[in-house]
Amino acid sequence: MAKELVRPEQFCTVKMKAGLDSIALQLNDELQRELDALYKGAVETFQLGKLIKGTVVAIEDNGVLVDIKYKSRGLVPRYEFGEHELKKLHAGDEIEVILDQLEDTDGRIVLSYEKAKEMRAWDAVTKLFEDGAPAEGVVTHKVKGGLNVDIGIPAFLPGSQIDLQRVTDFDQYVGQTIKACILKLNKKRGNVIISRRKYLHDQRSEDRKKILETLSEGQVIQGIVKNITNYGVFIDIGGVDGLLHITDMTWGRVAHPSEMVRIGDSIAVKVLSFDKNNEKISLGLKQLQTNPWDQISPDIAVGNKTKGKISSITDYGLFIEVAPEVEGLVHISEISWTDRITDLKQLGKNPWETVNEQFKPGQTLKGKISNITDFGIFVQLLPGIDGLVHISDLSWTEHIEHPSDRYKLGQEVEAVILGIDKDSKKISLGIKQLSIDPWEKVAEQYPVGSVVEGEISKITNFGAFVRLPNNIEGLMHNTVLSQEQSKKAEEFFTVGQKAQFRIVNINKEERKLALSTLLEEKKQEPKKVEPKKTEQQPKKESSFAKASADASEGKQQVQSKQQPKVVAKKEKREEPQQQKVRGSLQIALESAMQKSDKNNKDEDQ
């Protein structure tokens, strides 16, 4: 039975005269001032909804007992404290609470620690928002479109504001402590939106200013290769990107910057020049080495004969390396006194003329990687002839983001010739074709219904990819997992976890394999087929209906007697006519019954 809340206004007021006239109660000015101060302090202190300080007396099963220097002690419910807060809390500790009620049904003061914490947090967050300072919090969980961050109060971090680059996997940030700028604050609705991207951008801008203030021409600094282009390399030197041009990489000649560096490499560079206003920095790598032209041999002089190695051929001449990183140009006009050479390729045989004789589709060969691009690798088969291994022909099962993650320039690889196009001067190569396609025998190796052990290789927002022993990846979709385990992949699996799965579907053409966590297939109960309800025939038939039915039966009997022998084909032809006759009779009967019913109703009225 619930306790009834007793309120003072439910009682009547009784005024009692205790003979105060006979009592001479007098207070001096000092005592009166003290009494007024005590009364005023008590009234101002113990107001509902006000933040006050109290001392922890004891930690009980149902809550924390707090003394706020009132006539009774207050109780804070246990659920308002986190587990880590209760472990740190001891008797005698001072905490801040909100006064909810002066008395409950048991005569205790009702206090709230959660409201006090929320009030303090809102005050702190509001001050950070007004000052433009970043807030620090812990990412608690993933929500639709972003992350939930605890900065004292729940705040929303949109997916587009997580990092400077686009982020697809939000789970990697769960549990991390981050700093972010407050973009929007609405205390009335309890809405807080933060941005980690803005915080990182501001930090990078500050780092740029610090670096540009200390940067000077000729300074040697350490940097990390951030991006590689055809004309040079962008290097991160602590929040600021500098350009290392291809001409400043080496004293010699280089066809592409990727021949010397890779993304992520840490290299030392020299500051050649920088524009502080536009934040443009020019870097040099060859300037850290001695200029080979300063140490050129005296034998290399005007009029002397020398030998060298052809390092490059262009439309206008030959570049010949006469010393390490020292090249000379033989112009096309200086090659012959008598022959008019319009194309330097005339000096040698065209290797593509005999390419069909030297190479055949299906042939296996070895070569060194001459170039790496986003779409594949080029393998040198002969001087002047390169074959392309497209990124899709590197592996049957693995998804390779960039060929440079797996191969290096100059590395020797083995490949199969897939096709030769002499006219277009293109040779297609394949590396995955050296092995048998595992999808060809996947149905035999893992038939539908079989149980196999796999390893979680990747978790996405729609499910988990499972790598099987033959390196084929199957998908454990979230829709299936929700039905089987009432959980999503991110809640049920972790990357690297091994488990057993059942093969439920194989699509060899689309290279898709579906999995299930239920190792045994559920037996479906047969559906009960309910008998169809037949329309009830009218119990009584009118005399007109009976007469019509008898007439139709007699007519059919006479026709059957007159024509006893009828061919089967003729009967089939007459069936539609009989149906028409029956249909017309049925219509006539129904109209007659409707008329008779109408007449009966008129008579009853």
The domain that holds 414 is classified in CATH as 2.40.50.140
Tell me, yes or no, whether 424 and 358 share the same domain: yes
Tell me, yes or no, whether 511 and 442 share the same domain: yes
pLDDT at 170 over 80: yes
Mean pLDDT of the chain, nearest integer: 77
Looking at residues 288-311, what average pLDDT do you find? Answer: 82
Tell me, yes or no, whether 362 and 429 share the same domain: yes
- Among candidates 371, 363, 448, which has minimal Cα distance to 414? 363
- What is the Cα–Cα distance from 190 to 486, expressed in whole angstroms? 31
Which domain does 66 fall in, by range?
Answer: 42-117
Q: What is the pLDDT of residues 460-498, one digit of tens each?
A: 888 888 888 888 888 888 888 878 788 788 888 888 888
Looking at residues 450-456, what average pLDDT do you find? Answer: 88
Q: What is the pLDDT of residues 84-106, one digit of tens each?
A: 677 878 888 888 888 877 766 76
- Beta strand 241-245 with 74-77 is unpaired
Tell me, yes or no, whether 275 and 221 share the same domain: yes
Task: Put the strands of the sheet holding 317-323 in their side by side order.
Answer: 309-314, 317-323, 326-331
402 falls within a domain: yes
The pLDDT, as a whole number, for residue 516 is 87
Long-range CB contacts (within 8 A, 24+) of 86-92: 86/59, 89/56, 89/59, 89/64, 90/56, 91/56, 91/57, 91/58, 91/59, 92/55, 92/56
pLDDT at 188 over 60: yes
Strand partners, 476: 464
pLDDT at 252 over 90: no
228 falls within a domain: yes
CA angle 37, 42, 47 (to 5 degrees): 140
Tell me, yes or no, whether 366 and 385 share the same domain: yes
The pLDDT, as a whole number, for residue 541 is 46
65 falls within a domain: yes
Tell me, yes or no, whether 445 and 418 share the same domain: no
Choosing from 377, 404, 434, the residue where a domain stops is 434
Tell me, yes or no, whether 51 and 113 share the same domain: yes
472: left (phi over 0), alpha (psi -120 to 50) or beta: beta
> Could you tell me which residues come within 8 angstroms of residue 549 by beta carbon, excluding any fewer than 6 positions away?
541
Tell me, yes or no, whether 445 and 512 share the same domain: yes
The number of folded domains in the chain is 6
| Residues 451, 500 contacting (CB under 8 angstroms) | yes
The pLDDT, as a whole number, for residue 576 is 47
pLDDT at 389 over 90: yes
Tell me, yes or no, whether 508 and 489 share the same domain: yes
Tell me, yes or no, whether 314 and 275 share the same domain: no
Q: What is the pLDDT of residues 199-210, one digit of tens each?
A: 888 887 777 777
Tell me, yes or no, whether 266 and 325 share the same domain: no
Looking at residues 371-400, what average pLDDT do you find? Answer: 86
Choosing from 486, 516, 546, the residue where a domain stops is 516
587 falls within a domain: no
551 falls within a domain: no
pLDDT at 158 over 80: yes
Choosing from 404, 434, 464, the residue where a domain stops is 434
540 falls within a domain: no
> Residue 193 — very low, low, confident or very high, per pLDDT cuts 50/70/90?
very high
Tell me, yes or no, whether 342 and 361 share the same domain: no
